[in-house]
Amino acid sequence: MALKLDSKIPSGPIEQKWDKAKFEMKLVNPANKRKFTVIVVGSGLAGGSAAASLGELGYNVLCFCFQDTPRRAHSIAAQGGINAAKNYQNDGDSIYRLFYDTVKGGDFRAREANVYRLAQVSVDIIDQCVAQGVPFAREYGGVLANRSFGGAQVSRTFYARGQTGQQLLLGCYQALERQVDAGKVKMFYRHELLDVVIIDGRARGIVTRDLATGAVESYAADAVVLATGGYGNVFYLSTNAKGSNATAIWRAYKKGAAFGNPCFTQIHPTCIPQSGDYQSKLTLMSESLRNDGRIWVPKQKSDSRGANAIPEGERDYYLERRYPAFGNLCPRDIASRAAKVVCDEGYGVGPGGRGVYLDFSDSIQRLGRHTIEERYGNLFEIYERITGDDPYSTPMRIYPAVHYTMGGLWVDYNLQSTIPGLFVLGEANFSDHGANRLGASALMQGLADGYFVIPYTMGNYLAGVKPGGVDENHSEFRAVKEKVSGQTRQLLSIRGRKTVDDFHRELGKVMWEYCGMGRNEAGLKHALERIPEIREEFWKNVNVPGSEGELNQSLERAGRVADFLELGELMCRDALIREESCGGHFREEYQTEDGEAKRDDEKFCHAAVWEYAGADKEPIRNIEPLNFEYVHLVQRSYK
């Protein structure tokens, strides 16, 4: 059965769509708000801002996170900054330009109306965060400072040293704790969502496991919000936190929420290269470094000289050479692929030839060490701590790594999934970034969704339903709880010979090799054979020690990896069918003469929307056609 996808894009000119939608939305009477309970899963920028704002409006909010406190959500790790179309620099920025840059940067695979709204509310986000006391960087005159970021020619990124995500999240966490104090939000930390509960076709609650005690619990509500972050950890090695997972969205998918563009993943160009097999994660070096760092490789293959011994004339600043207009600031997908190309050709540096230089010597000479220290001091420190090398005196070595997932649960203009009452925010939804996200735009999107979109669209939904009517004793809650506990018992009963991480690493290698920076038909077909084999072995041979009713980190990981083993397959399937290259999805068969991504707008100007069909059935691929009325479809060029 094909899904009926209604994107609910309001009619009218793009500048007026959101105002019109807000005006037409139904409102909940203030006295009735406290009769509604909303579950928010996730306390990152998207979930935290949603929970705080919904609490302020008067709804009863139950907020969940798997860490020991909401302040640890992975948004905390974002370094570089957050975009907003403030045009404080008077350099030609505007809402329209941010909209345009985002649509183009996403290689025309996002919904225009959503992106426009994102650009519109971006300005309110900065105001809100400043009012909360977020210590953004300032100029001497006391006004807010900006920097530029990849994929943009204007300076619109706001930042707080190299800890922008941390400071934005703390602002949002403090707003959340204020609502906890006011009794409007109840916070459940160390609680992992294991399933959503659908009753009469509506999302009515969730089943969780208390990670400290192992208790499986049910929570009923009038609506459920998932803001559980991205699924980059399907690759095992990524810049995501160790606990970042796909469990919430994957289990919702299996309950009927369609999944949009699963294969759209972003590989970030500037990460610290892997150092050994024991590697547990990869560390990002903020893209803001590309403002003042120059990327190069030796002109000679397998050059074994140290970076500083290679004379200027023997260095290939390949981004500046290939993309003179944007140079080191070209979009992420392009910079990542270019690094892979030079390394594949044998010009890479460092162990295994998997690295390129990011060199600050010119800017240190031009601006002085002090300025560089002020801008990037903490990043340089991170680098030195991890590698033991000093980037002030030798260039950094960097290599691309999995960083962000543009794909996610499909949502309409109101951020509602295909399950009524189930809303999805932040990186967890298939979002506004199309096939490639611009730097500093994820923080913007998370906060736009949570502070400025969901408060309206949630009200509109709740105004159309009666509060309550279902509680945790409903037979469906009991059935879901039983199913969840069954899976846990099964995982614990296998007692095989391989660890959870053995399987995760194996899956990661397949994904990186065949569904990473470059993809092709043969590779993807191979992956589609391999992944089910790994999955089958997992369910026969994994060793999950310990028991159910206790704090058990192996069990937590096992459940997450079980989901990655299914999601990975869907990603490869999606990548195989999309016979074009766009943004981060690079199909080697479809490229221009000079190696750039070649879209096929005739056949693929749409979002792929996958529908779960049952355990042993092939999922169904639906499409949401994309219309570009404002930004005209052109081949992206950053030359």
Ligand X SMILES: Cc1cc2nc3c(=O)[nH]c(=O)nc-3n(C[C@H](O)[C@H](O)[C@H](O)COP(=O)(O)OP(=O)(O)OC[C@H]3O[C@@H](n4cnc5c(N)ncnc54)[C@H](O)[C@@H]3O)c2cc1C
Residue 43 contact among another protein, ligand X, none, beta carbon within 5 to 8 Å by kind: ligand X
- Residue from the set 490, 553, 592, 635 that interacts with another protein by CB under 8 A: 553
**Residues 407-436, interacting with ligand X (CB under 6 A):** 426-428
Q: Is 167 in the site for another protein (CB under 8 A)?
A: yes
String of b and e for 462-481 (b: at least 16 CB within 10 Å)? beeeeeeebeeebebbeebb
Q: Which of 120, 163, 245, 414 binds ligand X (CB under 6 A)?
A: 245
Question: Cα separation of 552 and 560, whole Å?
Answer: 13
3-state SS, 198-238, equals EECCEEEEEEEEECCCCCEEEEECCEEEECCCCCHHHHCCC
Should residue 567 be labelled a site residue for ligand X when binding is judged by CB under 6 A?
no
Judged by CB under 8 A, does residue 131 bind another protein? yes
Residue 400 and residue 136: Cα distance in Å, rounded? 28
Under the criterion CB under 8 A, does residue 496 sit at the interface with another protein? no
Q: Contact region for ligand X (CB under 6 A) — 21-29, 116-124, 223-231, 293-301?
A: 223-231
d(CA 83, CA 129): 13
Binding to another protein by residue 88, rule CB under 8 A? yes
Among 40, 82, 118, 170, binds another protein (CB under 8 A): 170
550 interacts with another protein by CB under 8 A: yes
Nearest to 427 by CA among 453, 407, 402: 407
Sheet holding 202-210, edge to edge: 191-199, 202-210, 216-220
Closest CA to 242 of 194, 193, 284, 280: 280
Q: So which residues are the catalytic ones?
A: 332
End-to-end CA distance of the chain: 45
- 400 touches another protein by CB under 8 A: no
Contact segment (CB under 8 A) with another protein among 17-25, 31-39, 359-367, 383-391 equals 383-391
Q: Which residue is listed with tokens 């691309």?
A: 400
- The least distance separating another protein from the CB of residue 225, rounded to whole angstroms, comes to 15
Any contact of residue 359 with ligand X (CB under 6 A)? Answer: no
Q: Does 388 bind another protein (CB under 8 A)?
A: yes
Of 147, 155, 146, residue with least CA distance to 93 = 155
Residue 170 interaction partner, one of ligand X, another protein, none, beta carbon < 5-8 Å per kind:
another protein
Among 180, 367, 623, 633, binds another protein (CB under 8 A): 180
92 binds, among ligand X, another protein, none (CB under 5 to 8 A by kind): none
Q: Residue 569 has which token pair?
A: 């397959």
The site partner of 514 among ligand X, another protein, none (C-beta below 5 to 8 Å per kind) is none
Binding at 177: pick from ligand X, another protein, none (beta carbon under 5-8 Å per type): another protein
Quote the least distance from Cβ 86 to another protein, whole Å: 7
Q: How far is the CB of 584 from ligand X (least distance, A)?
A: 14
Q: How far apart are CA 18 and CA 439, in angstroms?
A: 24
454 lies in the site for ligand X, by CB under 6 A: no
Find the binder of another protein among 92, 141, 311, 625 (CB under 8 A): 141
- Encode burial over 63-73: b for 16+ CB neighbours within 10 A, e otherwise: bbbbbeebbbb
- State yes or no: residue 14 binds another protein (CB under 8 A): no
Contacting residues for 311 by C-beta, under 8 A, at least 6 apart: none
Q: Which stretch binds another protein (CB under 8 A): 157-165, 221-229, 307-315, 512-520?
A: 157-165
Q: How far is CA 581 from the centre of its chain?
A: 20
Q: State the binding partner of 180 from another protein, ligand X, none, CB within 5 to 8 A by kind.
A: another protein
Q: Are strands 620-625 and 606-611 parallel, antiparallel or unpaired?
A: antiparallel
Nearer to another protein, 188 or 514 (CB): 188
Residues 16/421, Cβ–Cβ less than 8 Å = no
Residues numbered 141 to 200 that lie near ligand X (CB under 6 A) are 164-165, 192-193
If residue 380 lies in a helix (H) or strand (E), which one and from where to where? helix 369-387
Binding test (CB under 6 A) with ligand X, winner from 53, 60, 67, 488: 67
Residue 40 near residue 179, CB atoms below 8 Å? no
User: Which spans of this chain sit near ligand X (rule: CB under 6 A)?
Assistant: 41-47, 64-67, 73-75, 77-82, 164-165, 192-193, 227-230, 239-240, 244-245, 247-248, 284, 403-404, 426-428, 440-443, 446
